[in-house]
Chains A and B, each alone.
Chain A
Amino acid sequence: MKTYDFDDKYIINLDSEMAIETDNIQVSYGKNQAIFNTSLKFPRFKIISLIGASGSGKSTYLRCLNRMNDKIATVDGKIMYRNVDINDPKTNVYEVRKHIGMVFQRPNPFSKSIRENIEFALKENGIRDKNELDERVEMSLQDAALWEEVKDELDTSALALSGGQQQRLCIARSIAMKPDILLLDEPASALDPISTSKIEDTVQLLSKNLTVIIVTHNMQQASRISDYTAFFHMGHIIEYNETRKIFTKPKIKATDDYISGDFG
Chain B
Amino acid sequence: MHPKRTDKIATGIIYTVVFAVVAILVFLIGYILVNGVPDINWHFLTSQAQSFSAGGGIRDQLFNSLYLLVLTLIISFPIAMGAGIYLAEYAKDNWITDIIRTSIEVLSSLPSVVVGLFGYLLLVNQLNMGFSILSGAIALTFFNLPLLTRNIEESLNSVPGLQKEAGISLGLSDWKTITKIIVPEALPGILTGVILSSGRVFGEAAALIYTAGQSAPSVSYTNWNIFDPSSFLNPMRPAETLAVHIWKVNTEAVTPDAHAISSGSSAVLIIVILIFNLGARFIGNHIYKKMTAAK
Taking beta carbons and an 8 Å cutoff, which residues of A are in contact with B?
66, 68, 94-98, 101-102, 104, 106, 108-112, 120-121, 124-125, 156-157, 159-160, 170, 173-174, 177
Q: How far is the CA of A173 from the CA of B293 in the complex (A)?
A: 20
Q: What 15 additional pairs, Cβ within 8 angstroms, besides A97-B169, A104-B165, A108-B160?
A: A66-B169, A68-B168, A68-B169, A101-B170, A104-B169, A108-B163, A109-B166, A110-B185, A111-B185, A121-B170, A160-B293, A173-B166, A173-B170, A174-B169, A177-B170
Q: In the docked arrangement, what's the CA distance between A109 and B163, Å? A: 7
Q: Residues of B contacting A156 with CB < 8 Å?
A: 293
Q: Is the CB of B180 within 8 A of A120?
A: yes
Check if A108 sits within 8 Å of B162, measured CB to CB: yes
Is B176 located at the chain interface by the 8 A CB criterion? yes
**A159 and B170 contact, Cβ closer than 8 Å, known pairs A104-B162, A108-B165:** no
Do A102 and B169 have beta carbons less than 8 Å apart?
yes
What are the residues of chain A within 8 A of B180 when measuring CB–CB?
A: 120, 124
- Give the interface of B toward A (CB within 8 A): 160, 162-163, 165-173, 176, 180-181, 184-185, 291-294
Within the assembled complex, what's the spacing in Å between the Cα atoms of A109 and B181? 11
CA distance A52 to B185 in the complex (A): 36
Q: Which residue of B lies closest to A122 (CB)?
A: B170
Q: A94-B173, A102-B169 are in contact. Are A110 and B181 (CB under 8 A)?
A: yes
Which residues of A are found within 8 Å of B163, using beta-carbon distances? 108, 110
SS class of chain B's interface: helix, strand, loop or mixed?
A: helix
Residues on B with C-beta less than 8 A from A106 are: 162
Report the minimum CB–CB distance from B167 to chain A (whole Å): 8
* Of B166, B173, B293, the contact of A104 (CB 8 Å cutoff): B166
Nearest-neighbour CB distance to chain B for A58, whole angstroms, equals 17
* Inter-chain contacts of A160 with B (CB < 8 A): 293
Verify B293–A121 contact, CB threshold 8 A.
no
Contacts A104-B162, A111-B291, A160-B293 given; indicate if A121 touches B172 (C-beta within 8 A).
Answer: yes
User: Which one, A66, A95, A157, contacts B292 given CB within 8 A?
Assistant: A157
In the bound complex, what is the Cα–Cα distance between A97 and B165 (angstroms)? 11
Closest 4 CB pairs of A and B: A157-B293, A98-B171, A108-B162, A121-B170
Between A102, A108, A157, A170, the greatest number of chain B beta carbons within 10 A of the residue's beta carbon is seen for A108
Q: Which residue of A lies closest to B161 (CB)?
A: A108
A66 to B170, CA, bound (A): 10
* Minimum distance in angstroms from B64 CB to a CB of chain A: 39
Report Cα–Cα, A121/B167, bound state, in Å: 8
B166: which A residues are within 8 A, CB to CB? 104, 108-110, 170, 173
Selected A-B contacts with CB under 8 Å, 5 pairs: A68-B168, A94-B172, A97-B169, A97-B171, A101-B170
Q: Which of B162, B168, B170, B181 contacts A174 (CB 8 A)?
A: B170
Chain A CB count within 10 A is highest, among B160, B166, B293, for B166
A95 and B168 CA atoms in complex are apart in Å by 11
Contacts of A108 in B (CB 8 A): 160, 162-163, 165-166
* Complex interface: chain A residues within 8 A of B162 (CB): 104, 106, 108
B184 closest partner in A (C-beta): A111
- Asked if A121 contacts B171 (CB within 8 A), the reply is yes
Q: Which residues of B contact A121 (CB under 8 A)?
A: 167, 170-172
Residues of B close to A125: CB separation below 8 A: 171
Q: What are the residues of chain B within 8 A of A102 when measuring CB–CB?
A: 169
Contact between A159 and B292 (Cβ–Cβ < 8 Å)?
yes
Given contacts A110-B163, A111-B185, A124-B180, contact A97 B293 (CB under 8 A): no
Cα(A108)–Cα(B166), bound, Å: 7
Q: What is the bound-complex CA distance between A177 and B166, given in angstroms? A: 13
B185 touches A97 (CB 8 A): no
Bound CA span A177–B170, Å? 8
Q: Which residues in A have their C-beta under 8 angstroms from that of B170?
A: 97-98, 101, 120-121, 173-174, 177
Alpha-carbon separation in the docked complex, A228 to B185 (Å): 40
Chain B residues, CB < 8 A from A101: 169-170
By a CB distance below 8 angstroms, the chain A residues around B173 are: 94
Kindly list chain A residues whose C-beta atoms are within 8 Å of the C-beta of B292. 111, 157, 159
- CA separation between A23 and B186, bound complex, in Å? 41
A98: B residues at CB distance < 8 A: 170-171
Closest residue of chain A to B173, judged by CB? A94
The minimal Cβ–Cβ distance linking B92 to chain A, given in whole angstroms, is 9
Set B165, B172, B184, B185: member contacting A68, Cβ < 8 A: B165
Contacts of B293 in A (CB 8 A): 156-157, 159-160
User: A97 contacts B291, CB within 8 Å?
Assistant: no
Known contacts: A68-B165, A110-B163, A110-B166. The answer to whether A159 contacts B294 by CB under 8 A is yes
